């Protein structure tokens, strides 16, 4: 019986789910974020096996379209919400003109998640526009972010953040699609040209562990079988 439990434990390493973890994404002009265990997305259009803020890996992947670059913008400290570690590292943003769309894939299907989208602009250009953030899965939520009149202030969903409020207090809830997707879309609300800025995003809930390489799974399964059968379990003994 003890060996059977060991076998199940070994195989479950690849199906374990972390409860209540948070995946943070930071769109950076450089290569390193100072937000501990957040995922840095620099000059790339996709990222796989995103990590949680506790350091655990997940099977979640990300794609971004519509961004024309990354811009540095140091956020005003009083607009950074309280979090387990400093959010000072959210100090760049993905720049766009009309629409930026970020898709998270391989979430658990039809699972409710707490979600956040961070708006930011550096104020160096009069082209910044009011923008609308929509976070969609099986349901959706939308927020307006007036980055034009609030340069260097960190928007968290529909509000300017406050250093006296927790990040959790700004959370919205969206359920993933039946294929395990969530999309974060930032849209320019101006009738003419302009620019928009998405500094980052976060989701909190349950996530699947990374899918192992076939060779690794076979190896661990073989070890488990040896543990189980090597002690005589599952084999009829002669009397």
Residue 221 in 3-state DSSP? helix
CB 116 within 8 Å of CB 184: no
Model pTM above 0.75: yes
User: What pLDDT, on the 0 to 100 scale, is given for residue 114?
Assistant: 98
Q: pLDDT in tens for each of the 239 residues of the chain?
A: 445 434 434 434 443 444 569 999 999 987 666 799 999 999 889 999 999 999 999 999 999 999 999 999 999 999 999 999 999 999 999 999 999 999 999 999 999 999 999 999 998 666 777 899 999 999 999 999 999 899 999 999 999 999 999 999 999 999 999 999 999 999 999 867 789 999 999 999 999 999 775 544 444 444 444 444 455 554 444 44
Fold of 17-208: Jelly Rolls (2.60.120)
The alpha carbon dihedral of 229, 232, 233, 239 has a sign of: positive
User: What pLDDT, on the 0 to 100 scale, is given for residue 123?
Assistant: 80
Q: CA–CA separation, 76 vs 214, rounded Å?
A: 47
Domain boundaries, the chain: 17-208
Residue 113 in 3-state DSSP? strand
């Amino acid at each position: 019986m003890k060996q059977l439990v060991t076998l199940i434990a070994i195989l479950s390493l690849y199906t374990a789910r972390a409860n209540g973890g948070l995946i943070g994404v930071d769109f950076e002009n450089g290569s390193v974020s100072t937000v501990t265990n957040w995922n840095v997305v620099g000059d790339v259009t996709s990222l796989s096996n995103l990590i949680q803020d506790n350091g655990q890996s997940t099977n979640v992947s990300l794609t971004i379209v519509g961004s024309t670059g990354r811009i540095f913008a140091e956020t005003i400290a009083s607009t950074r919400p309280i979090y387990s570690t400093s959010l000072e590292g959210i100090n760049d943003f993905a720049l766009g003109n009309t629409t930026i769309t970020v898709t998270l894939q391989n979430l658990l299907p039809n699972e409710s998640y707490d979600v956040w989208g961070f708006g930011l602009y550096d104020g160096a250009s009069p082209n910044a526009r009011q923008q609308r953030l929509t976070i969609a899965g099986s349901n959706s939520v939308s927020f307006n972010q007036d980055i034009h009149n609030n340069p260097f202030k960190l928007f968290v969903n529909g509000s300017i953040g406050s250093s006296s409020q927790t990040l959790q207090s700004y959370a919205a809830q969206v359920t993933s699609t039946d294929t395990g997707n969530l999309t974060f879309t930032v849209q320019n609300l101006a009738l003419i040209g302009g620019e928009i800025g998405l500094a980052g995003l976060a989701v909190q809930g349950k996530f699947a562990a990374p899918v192992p390489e076939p060779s690794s799974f076979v190896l661990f399964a073989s070890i488990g079988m040896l543990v189980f059968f090597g002690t005589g379990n599952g084999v009829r003994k002669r009397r």
